[in-house]
Every structure is written in structure tokens, then in C-alpha cells.
Structure 1
Amino acid sequence: MELGLVELLRAAWIAGTLPILIASLPCSWLGSFHGLVLGFARRGKIMQSSSHRKFTVPQRFFTHFYVVAVAWTTLLLLGTSIYAYRMTPIVSEPFFYSDLGSYLAGRSNIFSFHRSRLMSLENRYRVWLSVFLLLLMEVQVSRRLFETAYVFKYSASARMHIFGYLTGLFFYTAAPLTLCCTCAPEVLKFGINEVSEFILKGTSSMQNIEFHWWDFVNPLLKLGWCQWIGAVIFLWGWIHQHRCHAILGSLREHVGKADEYVIPRGDWFEIVSSPHYLAEIVIYAGMVFASGGADLTIWLVFGFVVSNLVFAAAETHRWYLQKFDNYPSNRVAIIPFLC
């Protein structure tokens, strides 16, 4: 079941990324395919400049993404956290370190005797790492829900393609699941057993459950330097994305008409046209780093994020250049000094 879930997620991310990569190739004979993918990706001001308005929904439906994301991520985080706390506590492993020393000294038979303890430790680390990554995702989607509700002021005429809407729902369902996919089947079995026990025994099955905050926080603190560097990278992108979204949200307050636009300025807008997309890439790069970089599925999520945002940013940059004659010439689309 575990391999099935991982493989299904990998196939989904590849299937979502390949069309964008193909459409991005500079080949004239791919022009119609590029236009098709671009039509699916258009939204907001870019959609308004297009005559293709069939099969669209209001752009304010962006809120749906983050309602789903917060609810789903919270559910996964709670389930994985309870499983980690109850079933895989990280405690001191004196035998593990003595066995490791014996192995390095050449006494591999002793190390083999305790191999099950090593595998158990790896399993605990994997589960608590999933909790850590889901915490980062929870912080991200919670802020995005707040911004869609209170920061952005979507124009009544702003639209997005229904395919883009469905893609957003897919992303915010699959991305949190990807962060815990290696232990999700175990968590599901644990949850089913807990619910079954509660149904059979009622509240009496919960009487012996004790929760101590330090026992929950301590394993997260022991994960390693890689996770905390990843968290710092995540926070760096998180802060800048919030600043850029605040700038975009404030623009609506300074224009007289719903379809009137001004050039955004400040923060990373001084170097790229879509700094909120750049910040999103930094955020997910932080998650990849925090994961340790060994999980192919998380790399595929990152590949989808980068390809999707670079593709959208290129079109946004072209729109700015066509819209404003005085658009800053030093700005590029999304990657500073590159594109």
C-alpha cells in the first residue's frame, strides 16, 4: 500500500509537470500546445486580456484552495502527530551508539544483532520528519488563507480557467499528502484502530492517555541541522511572500477602476515581476532542504512548483511590458539576473 501511494503521487506530479515543460520549449511547432497550456494557466489581469473566457470561475475562488489546504493539512498533521507521539517516541538509544561503535571497530556481528533497533530508529525519524514538514505546510497554507480573506481584493471581473481551479485543488490536496506519504499508510491503520477501539470501549479507552508538550517538542528538536536550515530558508521565503502579497493587495486601494493597474514597487518587486512566485519557490526549496533531499516525491513537488510558476511568471512579465511603456527595464520575470 505504501509503495502504491508513493508511486501514484510521483506519477501525478510527473503528469502535471511534463505538459508545462513541453509548452515551455522554444519550438515554433509547439505554438498551439503552448497556447493551450497558457489558456489553462491564465487568471486575473492576464485572463482579462484574453478573449477566452469560457469555462472560467471567479478568481476569488482562490480561497477554496486554502480552505481545503488548511483542513486537509491539519487533519494529516494531527493524525501523524498523534501516531508519532503514541507509537514512535524518540528516546535515548545507548545500545544504538554502542552498536555503531562496534560496527566501526569491525565487530559487525554485534551490529547485526541490533539491526532491528537501527531500523526502528530510522522509522521514528521518518515519522517525526513528516510531522516537521507538515508543520511548515500548515504555517504556509494558514497564512495564505488569511491573505485571500483579508489582504487580496479580487476584482469582480477577475476570472481563472476551471482547469487551473481544479489544478489548484489537486495541488493543495496532493502536496501535504506527499510530505507524509512514506508513513501515511501506517498513520491510516493507526487511526482506524483508534477509532474502532473508541467505538468499542467508549471514553474508557482514553483514560490512560497522557500528553506532555515536551515529549512532543523534544523529538522535533532532535531532528538535525538540515531540518532547521530548511526551516530558515522556508521562513525567508515566507516573510517575503507575505510582504509582496501585502504590496499587491494595497494596489487595489490606490486605483479608481476595477480594471486599472499600476506598477507594483517595493521588496523583491524591484528585481523581478513576480516576486511572490519567487518567494513560493524559496518556500518549497526550504521544504526540500528540510526533508533531507533524499525523497524523490518531494523533489517532484518542487519541480511542479518551479515549472508552473516560471511559466506563469513569464506570461505576467510579458503583460507588464505590453501594459506599461515605463516598466522598469532592470526587472526580469522571476529568477533574479536570469529570467
Structure 2
Amino acid sequence: MDALHLTTSSMPTLLLLYWLLCTGAALAALVPSFGWSGFRKAVMLSACRGKLWDKKPDAPLGPLQAARVPQKRFAHFYIVGVACAIPALWLLIIAGCGPAEGWQEEHHAALIAMLCVLFHLSRRLVESCLLLSYPDGAYMHLIAYAFGLSYYVALPLTLLPSSTWHTLDALAYQGQKGAAEWDPCPAHLAQALKHLPGSMSALQVLGVVVFFAGNALQCHSHCILARLRARIAGKREDRLQTTEDGYALPEGGAFSLVSCPHYLGEIVLYAGLALILCGSNISIMVVFAWVVANLLLAAGPTHEWYSERFPSYPRQRRALIPWVY
């Protein structure tokens, strides 16, 4: 019981530490430095996947240097994410329906964010299983795969307010009798959802709009990539520039502005989450910083890869941020 109490009481701190370490590693890799060259190569190695696999650096990882998994296993991330988000939502409902807590402002903000994340993870799972496909030679490093699994375990838990962990601790202490008192009855949840729109601040409304705008941008970009993959697979290569390893030049939509609009959409939707939880969850700000740093790491080499492989690559197209980078 003491071990459980220690774990639940320290969970917000442990999650914040996890995100700080991840963000620190990504930021350090963004800054070329002689003293950090080995570390930077190791971080960059985890960012090399798919078309970038052949450009992976020689990191000092010994036998792990060539450890890889097929990129099609990206779907595993979203399976894990959904599987963790559902019980996290249940914990949030229990905390919100508890006799002592009630649906406070932090619970409302967390509920909005959790529902948004559950939508996003479900959408990405459907896309990964039914829409997107990868060439047989598309891989990601084992480190990236292991980190991705941990990421989607940590993300839903990070959205929970600290009071949720106190509730879990109280439930464990009180046992079955306590669990009955904290029963998340449908009426309480329905009441919370009913009053949710009216309880949202202007910043949270803006956050929801930004979140779904990012989802729309990412989904549209993935649809363009999926249609491009279908053209390649169907050998309909009229006016289609392709590489020997089965990649082509994406065009249309936000691809006319940047090489990685799906990454840009990811940044936008996490900015929406940060707005929703602004002032009530410090960790989500660190998560947002990590998303930006990580996608900057991936977008730069991707843009360079396109420029090298396609001589006619549009010069006005940027890597990640229109007209800027």
C-alpha cells in the first residue's frame, strides 16, 4: 500500500521528468556541438525512419546500430495510446464524480483535452490501418519504436490533473467501500458533459478550434500521401516522379508550402491542447516543446531528402513552417 501511495503521489512529477528528459534530448540534438556529437547522432538515429533510413548516422550504439522494425508498426503506437487513454478517461471521471472533488475547473479542462486526444488517437489508428501504407523497405529504429510506445503510454496520463492521482490513492486506501462512494455514475458524467460547453473559457474554445484545425491539416496531408502511394502501387506513373525505393513527390494541399504538412498539423493540434490546458497543466507545455523539437529534427532531413532526390523540387517550398523554415 505504501508503495502504491508513493507511486501515485509522485506520478505527476515522474511524468514531468520524463517529458523534460525527452525535450532536453531533442533540443540538444538540434544544436550541433562537437562535445555532443555521439549523443546527437543517437538521437538523430531515432528520427530516421522510412525514406530517411538510408541516411541514418553512425551512432555509437554497437549492436543496436542496425536494430530496426518495419514502419508499418506505427499502428502499434495508436493501439497503445487508445488502450491507455480509455482507462485514463475512466480515472478522470471517477475523480470528477467523487464526493469531495466535484467537477472542478481542472477536471473540465482535462476532460476536454482527454476527449480530444482520444479522438486524435482513434483517427490516427484508423488511418494507420486503413489509409496509409509503407514500402517494404520502410523501417524505423528499435529505439524510436520503444520510445513511441512509452510516449503513448505517458501522454494520456499526463493530461490527468494531480487530484486524479490523489483520488486513485484514496480508492486504494478505502478499498471496496471507498470505490462505491466514488462511483462514476452516468448521471454525473452526463451532467458534466451537458455543462461543458458553457463552462469553457474563450482560451479553451480557441484551443479546441486549433486542435481540430491541426487534425484536419494532418488528415488531409495523409490523404494526399495515401493517394500518391496508391498511384505508385498501381503503376500509374504518368507525370509522376518516383525514386528507386518507391517514393514520389507529393503535391497539392499544404504540400505546396512545406515538405511535411502532416508534421505541421501535429504541431498545430498540440498547440491546441496546450491552449486547452493552459494554466492547469505544466507538463503539457513541455510535451508541446518536445513535439516541436522532435518534428524539427525530422522535417529538416526530410526536406533535404526531397531536394536531393527530385531536381525539380519547388524552391519556394519550406521544410515545416511556411515561408520560414
Query: In which range does the TM-score fall when normalised by the shorter chain?
Result: 0.7 to 0.9
Q: Aligned equivalents of 2:13 and 2:184: distance in 1? A: 38
User: Which protein shows a greater Rg?
Assistant: 1
Matches within 5 A, 1:147-166: 147-166=127-146
- 1:71 maps to what in 2? 83
Residue 218 (1) aligns with residue 191 (2): no
| Runs of at least 5 residues in structure 2 that lack an aligned partner in the other structure | 1-5, 59-64, 236-242
- Which amino acid is the alignment partner of residue 193 of structure 2? V
Q: Given the two structures, how large is their TM-score scaled by the length of structure 1?
A: 0.81
| Among candidates 126, 131, 137, match of residue 117 of structure 2 | 137
Change (3 A) 1:207 1:154: closer
Q: Aligned equivalents of 2:182 and 2:32: distance in 1? A: 61
Give the Å deviation of 1:69. Answer: 0.2
Give the Å deviation of 1:36. Answer: 2.6
Q: Aligned equivalents of 2:255 and 2:131: distance in 1? A: 17
- 1:45 maps to what in 2? 51
Q: Aligned equivalents of 2:272 and 2:184: distance in 1? A: 38
Q: Given the two structures, how large is their TM-score scaled by the length of structure 2?
A: 0.84
Q: Is the 8 A contact 1:83 1:190 kept in 2?
A: no
Q: Aligned equivalents of 1:35 and 1:288: distance in 2? A: 30
Corresponding residue pairs, total: 302
| Among candidates 137, 156, 163, match of residue 176 of structure 1 | 156
- 1:99 maps to what in 2? none
Q: Is the 8 A contact 2:95 2:182 kept in 1?
A: no
- Which amino acid is the alignment partner of residue 250 of structure 2? P
Q: Aligned equivalents of 2:275 and 2:182: distance in 1? A: 37
Q: Aligned equivalents of 1:299 and 1:31: distance in 2? A: 28
Q: Aligned equivalents of 2:57 and 2:41: distance in 1? A: 13
3-state secondary structure, aligned to 1:260: coil
Change (3 A) 1:219 1:235: same
Give the Å deviation of 1:249. Answer: 1.5
3-state secondary structure, aligned to 1:183: helix
3-state secondary structure, aligned to 1:284: helix
Residue 287 (1) aligns with residue 310 (2): no
3-state secondary structure, aligned to 1:330: coil
RMSD: 2.7
- Write out per-residue CA displacement over residues 19-76 of structure 1, whole angstroms, 9 at most, x where no aligned residue: 2211211445644443332112111111145597711011111111000000100111
Change (3 A) 1:210 1:76: closer
3-state secondary structure, aligned to 2:97: helix
Q: More deviation in 51-60 or 148-157?
A: 51-60
Q: Is the 8 A contact 1:70 1:142 kept in 2?
A: yes
Q: Aligned equivalents of 2:16 and 2:186: distance in 1? A: 38
3-state secondary structure, aligned to 2:212: helix
Matches within 5 A, 1:12-31: 12-27=18-33, 30-31=36-37
- Which amino acid is the alignment partner of residue 275 of structure 2? F
- 1:57 maps to what in 2? 69
3-state secondary structure, aligned to 1:216: helix
Give the Å deviation of 1:10. Answer: 1.6
| Runs of at least 5 residues in structure 1 that lack an aligned partner in the other structure | 91-123
Q: Is the 8 A contact 2:97 2:183 kept in 1?
A: no
3-state secondary structure, aligned to 2:187: coil
Q: Is the 8 A contact 1:66 1:172 kept in 2?
A: yes
Q: Is the 8 A contact 2:68 2:142 kept in 1?
A: yes
Q: Aligned equivalents of 1:207 and 1:76: distance in 2? A: 15
Q: Is the 8 A contact 1:89 1:219 kept in 2?
A: no
| Among candidates 195, 198, 209, match of residue 232 of structure 1 | 209
Give the Å deviation of 1:297. Answer: 1.1
Q: Is the 8 A contact 2:171 2:178 kept in 1?
A: no
